[in-house]
Structure 1
Amino acid sequence: MLVRNTIIYVILDIITKASALIILPLVTKNLSVENYGIYKIIMEMSILVVMISTFGIGSSISRYNFDKINMKRLYLIGYITSFLSIPFSIVFLSVLSFKYDIDIFISLIFSGIVFFTVFNSYTRIYFTINKKIKEFAIIKVFELSIFFISIALLDYFNYLNLYTLLISICGMIFTNTVLSYHYAKEIMNFFYKKSFYLAFKKIKTFSINSYYNGIIKYLNSNLEKFFFVIFLSGTQFGVYALAMTIGSIVRTSGSALFLSFAPIYYENNRQKRIDKNMKIYKLLFLLAPILYILFLYIVKFAWSYIIDNSYSNAYQYVSVLAFLYILEIYYGLAQYYYFQIKNTKFLLNFEIMFFCVYILTLLLVYFLIDLNLENILYLLVFISFIKFILLISKDRCHDMYKMIWLIILNILVLFLISKIIK
């Protein structure tokens, strides 16, 4: 039962995350490159505003689920703070409207997407920690069906454009809200008056720490996107965003591959079978170039069949973005296997240090160094490489450090592949 529920949960989650890829042929056929860029800017900004609007409350709900705290009051805190996402959305879109063609109607849709996403996140946590997989599956299947059918119909009747695409996304998320209310009424009680502050006081410290850590890690992984929002025009960002969307296949599938080895790793670690963990590392680092080559050739073959010709410039950036995402996966691998339980303070300080390095580098590019998009991406690849090597060099007794030259050779091979296969 547990395995079946886990498989259902993972499959539905992957389909949800892959929805942008599934509708990609229809979107590129109907949207201009500039409008696609605006669409991706809005979606990326919505993720950032959602992160800012959660205040770490979701982490606290998961953390205190089995403690003697009235969970309904914690959910209430989350639902009430969801409304703060609306003014945050207005501020972000107001700033972006100075550069991009974003009207009031798009701003309203954006605010709706952000609000309902934050609101739904707490119900998702409720379904997850209480193992209500059936309810979660019903909601996901229903909302995804409505979304895909609406996109197909809009394309069929030639009504698919930036506005209708965003409305379809907002409608999908709102469908989730309505169905979530039906299946989770017990936690959606907005009439508590007593003990509200006491519940917040108990989770305040943990929420703030989780919030701070989450924001820093998210910005470290996505800072270049926000830089390109400022640095590039709408059309240029559309080209970059398409390459990023396709390159993200590597991030999603690669993360799933690496994390699938986690139970074996921890069992070996518990039984002090370090030699077997070394074999896992070597297997993963040997698989990476093979899977990378396979991915690039699949993209090369399928590009003309699924992507409109007006987006042809995006293809040249897919290889370097996929390379960048592989390095992010390597870094995540080091974090996950190396710092999962201990050294969290060091890891946070390390993240902050490289966050400052990224900002300084991007500011130098913006104001002093004249680089094109591809060279900027390779510069970010180099910084990610240094970041990963420094992390695994902290403990020279660790089994990952013992194969550092194999790792460096692996990354050099990936670099050569990224330059050759374009």
Structure 2
Amino acid sequence: MPLLFFKSEEHKKLYEKRNLTVETISKRLARIMQILLVKRLESSFTAFRRSLHNLQRYTQNMIDMLEADCVFICPDIDVNAEFAKAPDFETACRNIRTKIAQKKGKSRQFRRSDLHEEYFSLLLQDKKRIDRLCALWDRNDFDPKLDAFKEHLQSELFNPRINNPGGYDRPKLVIFTEALDTLDSLARHIESKGYRVLKVSAANRDELQQEIKANFDANATVRRDDYDVIVTTEVLAEGVNLHRANVILNYDTPWNATRLMQRIGRVNRIGSKEEFVHVFNFYPTVQGNEQIRLIENAYAKLQAFHTMFGEDNRVFSELEQLSEADFNNLMEDEESPFSTYIADLKTFQKDHPERYKELMDLEFRELGGQIRGQQDGVGWVAVKTEQRAC
């Protein structure tokens, strides 16, 4: 939060946005960092440990810059990435100065004297705390969420009662996570159990396009059985078919409820041979959810979808109330982010009544699912819902 410690009001104004002061911007950024850290902790202990070490490195970079009387504050440049890839401090500084000159934005180089000395002493205190946390977490070799996953991998996710694809397909599983470190950790364990894993991220999605299609797309002309499990980040949440599988695990719950439905839509597609899609969701811990309120946010948005569109598949919890949409009687809130969409749907219903009725009569009805899973000592819960396949 270096912006808070500028001595000059001119320097502060340089980074203000519209009506946002540097105090407001700094506090918001700090809150975002807190939320991201909790999200990483909820994803996996491996991901959280990596984030702690990154924070340790970033804090040390700022201390080094202050000690060298060369402080870069650059909204347009990833300063920490420049320090990570450069062979030494001086080279990194030269590279950053070159980029500042090229971008001509708000990125600047400051002197230590431009900031209050209190900032340096507070950074040293932060670094001491972070060092202690890193040492503690480096001694930790367990993860109760991963332990719960291990316990239920074969008994639930590969249970032949639900994961038994028709035809000649082997059982398949789709897993979504938001963290690369979590992806790698999951893949290592799954492979240790004898399953063949395809790992997909933004770095390799394009080159694996044909592998994904051949092994997980029920509509593929050329079909292969090289993999049993696909573990992926959000990069496969849309634009791809994975419906040779009918079991999906959301190892991390995304903030955006639409993203959750898009994930499930990868396996709930026309062409699936299975009558049901089985969805498993890991809830965050009680302690973590108190900080980020993810369950409440996801549930509220999904319930709004059910109310507006007559959604008949539960996505996140059996507590979701399914209903038929009635746009004529739906109350509109001027502050609601859905008001625009409701208005558009009403217009479509009025202008194209026959087409509207045809779409509403499509058969996508759901048979009620059942909550499954278990809460361990730390509070993780895996929840299962069932959907009638398209």
State the TM-score, normalized to the length of structure 2. 0.25
Larger Rg: 2
Which structure shows the higher helix fraction?
1
Which structure shows the higher strand fraction?
2
Higher relative CO (CA 8 A, sep ≥ 6), structure 1 or 2? 1
State the TM-score, normalized to the length of structure 1. 0.24
